[in-house]
Structure 1
Amino acid sequence: MSERGLTADQIDTSIAHPARMYDYYLGGRDNYEVDRQAAQRIISALPSIVTGARANRAFLHRTVHTLVAECGIRQILDIGTGIPTSPNTHEVAQRVEPTTRVVYVDNDPIVAVHAHARLTDAGHTAFLPGDVRRLDEILERVRAEKLIDFTQPVGVLMLALLHFLRDEENPAAVVARLRDALPAGSYVAISHGTRDRATMENFEPLAELADVYRHATASLTLRTHAQVLGFFEGFDLLEPGLVSVSSWRPAPDSTEPPWIGIYGGVGRKR
């Protein structure tokens, strides 16, 4: 039994899990045959999913660097962190400021197993099992364990997460609840899949994408620019606003295509 009450034998290997599929897209090995089969179905229909996953990961790196180096953030809550893939959030943050605290949260037991093995031995890091659908439990836990000081600004990452919440689960209300819990001057970073710019030619691959995730542990809901922008109510977006993740402050030598079907943005609480 781990310190958080999770064991490796709790991992369900009969149903594909988005975190393990994402690991496969990134070329990782922390996945199972069911995850590989599901991910390969998507890659066959929509090869750009691999480019998208890598672009989303690069967006995470640029976002974390911006929060710590430019915005002065010294504590980060990474919700839906996924299986650790170096450089991880704390590695990027602590290269800028070694005292930056990072708290990782995820609902997949395999993430917990790997997080305890790879992340929590690093200084100023912690991992909590938790589901964004029960955000109050996460916030209560980080307060009770004094992992995050809510009297000081916090950077919250919700990357490739909210598209796994169905409309009836009201992701906008989840973000609003988070916003209300954060002190002014805090930041939230969101990346979210979209079907904007989809054409008749690529509608079928998107249907395959939706079907695969429908049979995984979390279904996928692609949303429009306007819908994703709505999650930032009460936040002021940093430049360049809500754009494709590959177009959010790209490195000068970036070779990523300017359009990836994932929107990304970072907002500052007023």
Structure 2
Amino acid sequence: MSESDQGYPSAVPVGVDTTRASIARVYDAALNGKDNFEVDRRVLDQVRTVAPGVAELAWANRDFLIRVCRFLVKQAGIDQFLDLGSGLPTAENTHQVVQRVNPDSTVVYVDNDPMVLAHARALLVGSPHTTIVAADIFRPLEVLKNPEVREELDFSRPLALFQIGTLHHYSPDDVSAIMATYIDALPSGSYVAIAHFYDPEVAEYSELARKMEEKFVHSPMGSGRFRTRAQIQALFGDLDMIEPGLVLCDDWWPEGPRLAPLSAVRRCILGGVGFKR
């Protein structure tokens, strides 16, 4: 999914409701993308009333994704990736990062947003090792039994599964059961990466997290739950956590020294990578 608009559909894809906010389009707006509508930007405007730097959640999430991709392809030798909730095209998507290191890496994106599907299918023409599949990522059996997923990925070999910036949009408390189903299906030697909105449970930042959650949930998008560390850690089940464990996204193997303190908003998103023995 390239930043270039070459090959983009020339009109809003069929099935896109421009009167309702879309998770993918709200993220796109936060990342200064162009594939969003007024209703999507209104979500961010609403959250900005309590957190002017709300877009930093999306940037911390994206930066974490890029570093995780590099680690998995360079250090762990992973060459197949299942990216759940791929979102709209932006700079440095999963396939761009990993295929720069290993051009033979296979990436399967999964999403059910009509706009995401239409744009991605147009942009991925001519990319033999990259596919997008239409499925609901919160229905793991629908994903795992999908014929395209099974055809593109070899479940007899290790792979990486991403839920980066997705699970906080699932409100029911059985989100751990969703992840357990995915993890059970992964072969030994696989990795799971998760980034999730975070309630730090300390007065200053917890108040901010809950205010952002309130605005997200009661916005036209209708989702955005800030879970505690224990709740997010539970999503990894009994996987072995890769050092430094479950930490602020910006603290997961940063690329250089930090010259300025993290903003309060960037202290409200956690990331981690687990390994299945």
TM-score over 0.5 for the pair: yes
Report if the CA contact (8 A) 2:195-2:269 is conserved: yes
1:145 positional shift: 5.2
Question: CA 1:35 to 1:238, structure 2 compared with 1: closer, same or farther past 3 Å?
Answer: same
Report if the CA contact (8 A) 1:242-1:264 is conserved: yes
Hey, what does 1:98 align to over in structure 2?
Answer: 103
Report if the CA contact (8 A) 2:120-2:132 is conserved: yes
Hey, what does 2:216 align to over in structure 1?
Answer: 212
SS at match of 2:152: coil
Letter in 1 for 2:267: I
Larger mean Cα displacement after TM superposition, 11-20 or 150-159: 11-20
Structure 1 residues not aligned, in runs of 5+: 1-6
Hey, what does 1:228 align to over in structure 2?
Answer: 232
SS at match of 1:9: coil
Question: CA 1:99 to 1:43, structure 2 compared with 1: closer, same or farther past 3 Å?
Answer: same
Letter in 1 for 2:85: G
Hey, what does 2:141 align to over in structure 1?
Answer: 136
Hey, what does 1:3 align to over in structure 2?
Answer: none
Match of 1:157 among 140, 157, 162: 162
CA-to-partner distance for each residue in 1:19-55, whole Å, 9 max, x for gaps? Answer: 1111111100100111011112212321232122111
Counterpart CA distance in 2 for 1:48 and 1:163 is 18
Counterpart CA distance in 2 for 1:83 and 1:144 is 20
- Report the aligned-residue RMSD: 2.1
Letter in 1 for 2:255: A
Question: CA 1:78 to 1:204, structure 2 compared with 1: closer, same or farther past 3 Å?
Answer: closer
CA-to-partner distance for each residue in 1:140-164, whole Å, 9 max, x for gaps? Answer: 1156650111001110110011111
- TM-score scaled to structure 2, two decimals? 0.88
Answering whether residue 53 of structure 2 is matched by residue 48 of structure 1, we say: yes
Letter in 1 for 2:233: L
Hey, what does 1:4 align to over in structure 2?
Answer: none
Question: CA 1:239 to 1:35, structure 2 compared with 1: closer, same or farther past 3 Å?
Answer: same
Hey, what does 1:110 align to over in structure 2?
Answer: 115
Hey, what does 1:147 align to over in structure 2?
Answer: 152
Answering whether residue 247 of structure 2 is matched by residue 240 of structure 1, we say: no
Letter in 2 for 1:189: A
Hey, what does 1:268 align to over in structure 2?
Answer: 275
Counterpart CA distance in 1 for 2:137 and 2:164 is 12
Counterpart CA distance in 1 for 2:38 and 2:60 is 25
Counterpart CA distance in 1 for 2:63 and 2:15 is 31
Structure 2 residues not aligned, in runs of 5+: 1-11
Counterpart CA distance in 1 for 2:202 and 2:125 is 41
Report if the CA contact (8 A) 2:216-2:222 is conserved: no
Hey, what does 1:186 align to over in structure 2?
Answer: 190
Counterpart CA distance in 1 for 2:85 and 2:179 is 13
Report if the CA contact (8 A) 1:210-1:219 is conserved: no
